[in-house]
A and B are shown apart, each in its own frame.
Chain A
Amino acid sequence: MTGTEPIRLLDEAGEAVVTAENEQWRAIADELSTDDRLAMHGEMLRTRRFDVEAGHLQRQGKLGLWVPSLGQEGAQVGAAWAARPQDTLFPSYREHLIALHRGVDMLQIIDIFRGAAHGGWSPTELPGMRIYSLVIATHALHATGYAMGIGLDGASGTGDASVDEAVMAFYGDGAASQGDASEGLVFAASYDAPIVFFVQNNKWAISVPSTRQSRFPLHERARGFGLEAAWVDGNDPLASFAVSRRMLDEARQGRPGYVEADTYRMGAHTTSDDPTRYRSRDEEEAWARRDPIARLAAHLRSLGVDDAALAEQEQRAADEAADMRRRTLEAPAAASDDIFDHVYADPHPLMAEQKAALAEFEASFGSDA
C-alpha cells in the first residue's frame, strides 16, 4: 500500500486508472453508485462555495479570520463517505467538508471565525462529529483515547463492520511533526486502538514546505510505529474513499492505520497569509490542473451524467452560500454570561463572584449608556 506512486483510481483528466495493483481499491470504490458519486461532487461544490463566500466575508470585515480548504475537498469527501455512521471523526480546523457532511450548520463553523464561540457545535447534538481543534495534533491524542475507550467498551472488534465503531483523526503534514502526533501513533499501536489517522499532506505548513517536516514519507514513518499505512492521491475522491474505507474497516478490528493523502492547499493558510511570498505561481497552476472537483466532474460526465445535473448542483451551492452570507450578517453577538457559564461543571465561587461583579459594573452605566 506504500508504493512509489500514491493509490489512484482517476487520473487528472478524470479518466479511470485501471491497473493490476489498484484492483482491490477499484472493488471498494465500486460500492459507490453514480448517484453516490454525483452526491459527493455536490458536497465538494457546496463546501467550495461556502469556503469562497466565507473568505469574502472575512475580507469585508465580518469574520476575524477564515481558513480555506480549497483543493482539499477530494481527500475529505472520500474520507467522509468512507466513515460509517457509527464512526467518530476528530477534525483539525480545515475539515469544512467533513463537518458539513456530518450535519454541522455552516453558521456553526462561521461562529468560530466571527468570534462568537470557540467550538461552534456540540458533539452531543451531532454524535460522531467532534469540534475543530486549533492547536495542531493535540486532538490526535484525544481521538486515540476515544478509540481506546471504544476498545474498552467492546464496541469494536466483533467482526461486524456495520456495528463496530472506529475513529478517524484528521491532521496535516505540519502537525505530523508535533510530539502529540507521534505519541498518538505510539498509544494507538500499543492498545490496538480502532483508529485511522487521516493526514492531508497539502505541501505547506503556512510557509514551510512538507520537506522540512519530514525527509521521509509520512506514511512510511507511520509504519515504523507499527501501523498499517497507505498513500493515496488525495485529489482523487474515489481513491480517498476506497483507501479510507479499507483502513477504517481494518481499524475497527483492532488494526490502527494511517492514510497520507497527497493533496494541495490551493488557497492561503488563512486569510492572514500571503502565499506569494513563499511559493511559485507555476506550482499553484500545476496543482490547479489537478483540482479534485473538476476531476470528479469529468468522471461523472464519462458516466453519462449530463451538464444540467452538474449546473443544478452549482446553483444549489451558490444559493446556500448566499443564504449563509445573509444569516452571518444577521447573527447575534455573543452574550457576556458565556464567559463564565461553562468553565466548570460544578459550582465555582470565582465564576459566581466575577459574573456578578461584571453584571454590576455593566449595570452601573445605566440602560442608556
Chain B
Amino acid sequence: MTAGQTMPIAKALNSALREAMRADEKVLLMGEDIGPLGGVFRITEGLHAEFGDGRVLDTPLAESGIIGTAIGLAMRGYRPVIEIQFDGFVYPGFDQIVSQLAKMRARHRGAVSMPVVIRIPYGGHIGAVEHHQESPEAYFAHTAGLRVVSPSTANDAHWMLRQAIESDDPVIFLEPKAKYWTKGEVLDAPTAALHDAVVAREGTDVTLIGHGAMVHVLLQAAEIAAGEGTSCEVVDVRSLSPIDWAPLVASAQRTGRVVVAQEAPGHASVGSEIAATIAERAFYSLEAPVQRVSGFDTPFPPAQLEDVYLPDADRVLAAVDRALAH
C-alpha cells in the first residue's frame, strides 16, 4: 500500500490504478502504449506485468475506437479506465465522449450506467510540439453527463483517481502532466470527496482560485505577495464539473477580492463560470470585480513561446494588484 509515503504524482496515480485493479476485477485499463511500455509517461508501469493482457489493453491507435469500445465494455459490466496519450489527441474520440458516453445514461432513463474514467495528461510547461500542451477542460465541463476533475497534489492524484474509478458516472480525469514528478505525501485515506473544493493556503486579503498545475503557480504568487504584505488565500477547485461553490463563495465573502486563473483560453471557460457565479453569489461582499487570468484566446503557441502564453506568478500578481486597486 501507498499510505503515508511521499511520492511523485505519477507514482501516486500508478498506485491508485494498481489498488483499484486489485480491489475490483472489473476495472481494466485501455490506451495506447500502456502495456509493456507503461505509457509514454509511465503511469501504467508494471501493471501489464501484474494483470496481463485481459486487464491492461494496449489498443489500436484510434481514440474514437478506444472510447467507443469502452462504452460497450461498460455496458457489459466492466469499469474501463482509459488513458488518452496527450490532451490534443482526445478530439478524435470527442463524439464518443459527448454524444455517447455522456448521454448514455439519460438516453436509457437511468437503466444503464457508464463507469468509465478517461485520464488525460493536460496542460503546458513541457516544451512539446503542437497538440501536446492543451487544456481542453471547458469542452467537457460544458457537457451534461460528465464529471470533470483535476488534482494538483500527489494525495489528490491518488485518492481522486480511486474515487473516480468508484463513480458510476463517466469522469474526465485531467492530470497536470508538468507536475507528474512533483512529490507529495499520500495519506492513508482521502481527506475530501471527489467533487470538493479545498483551501490550499489560508489568507485574508485576496482569494486566488485555480485547478491543476495552476494551483502551484497560485501558491507561488501567494508566497511572493506575502513578502509584500498581501495575504492571499488559495482555493484548489479540484472539480470542474460539478463545481463545489460553497468554499469558493465563502472565501470570496471573506476577502472581497477574487482572482481566477487557468492555463486554458479564457473565452467561455471554466474561469468564466467561476467569475460569473462568484459575482452572483458574493455580490454584496465583493470590493472589486473578479479578475480573470488565463491563456490567451489563441492556439497554444510553439514551445519557445509557452512561457509567454501560460500565466505565471507575475501575471497572477498583476491581477492581485488590479483587485487591490479598487
Contacts of B229 in A (CB 8 A): none
Structural contact, A146 and B54, CB atoms closer than 8 A: no
Asked if A187 CB lies within 8 Å of chain B CBs, one says yes
Closest chain A residue to B194, Cβ basis = A346
Structural contact, B110 and A148, CB atoms closer than 8 A: no
Structural contact, A144 and B72, CB atoms closer than 8 A: yes
Structural contact, B106 and A342, CB atoms closer than 8 A: yes
Do A146 and B76 contact each other (CB < 8 Å), given the known contacts A117-B109, A123-B108, A183-B64?
yes
Structural contact, A343 and B68, CB atoms closer than 8 A: no
Nearest Cβ in chain A — how far from B21, in angstroms?
Answer: 14
* In the complex, chain A residues 161-199 whose Cβ is within 8 Å of any chain B Cβ: 179-180, 183-184, 186-187, 190
Nearest Cβ in chain B — how far from A350, in angstroms?
Answer: 6
Structural contact, B65 and A138, CB atoms closer than 8 A: no
Stretch of A57-65, A149-157, A227-235, A361-369 lying at the B interface = A149-157
Interface majority SS on A: helix, strand, loop or mixed?
helix
Contact partner, A118, options B71, B100, B107, B147, Cβ 8 Å: B107
Structural contact, B107 and A180, CB atoms closer than 8 A: no
Complex Cα gap A144–B62 (Å): 14
Structural contact, A145 and B69, CB atoms closer than 8 A: yes
Structural contact, A148 and B65, CB atoms closer than 8 A: no
Structural contact, A149 and B72, CB atoms closer than 8 A: yes
Contact partner, A131, options B74, B95, B107, Cβ 8 Å: B107
Hey, what's the 0/1 contact readout for B90-122 against A, CB within 8 Å counting as 1?
A: 001001100110010111111111010000000
Contacts of B28 in A (CB 8 A): 152
Nearest Cβ in chain B — how far from A299, in angstroms?
Answer: 37
Contacts of A350 in B (CB 8 A): 242
Asked if A338 CB lies within 8 Å of chain B CBs, one says yes
Complex Cα gap A318–B54 (Å): 51
Structural contact, B169 and A183, CB atoms closer than 8 A: no
Structural contact, A123 and B106, CB atoms closer than 8 A: no
Contacts of A140 in B (CB 8 A): 68
Structural contact, B71 and A145, CB atoms closer than 8 A: yes
Asked if A344 CB lies within 8 Å of chain B CBs, one says yes
Q: Which of B59, B60, B72, B111 has the largest count of A CB atoms less than 10 A from its CB?
A: B72
Structural contact, A141 and B54, CB atoms closer than 8 A: no
Do A144 and B68 contact each other (CB < 8 Å), given the known contacts A123-B111, A138-B96?
yes
Complex Cα gap A152–B27 (Å): 12
Contacts of B59 in A (CB 8 A): 187, 190
Hey, what's the 0/1 contact readout for B72-86 against A, CB within 8 Å counting as 1?
A: 111111100000000
Contacts of A289 in B (CB 8 A): none
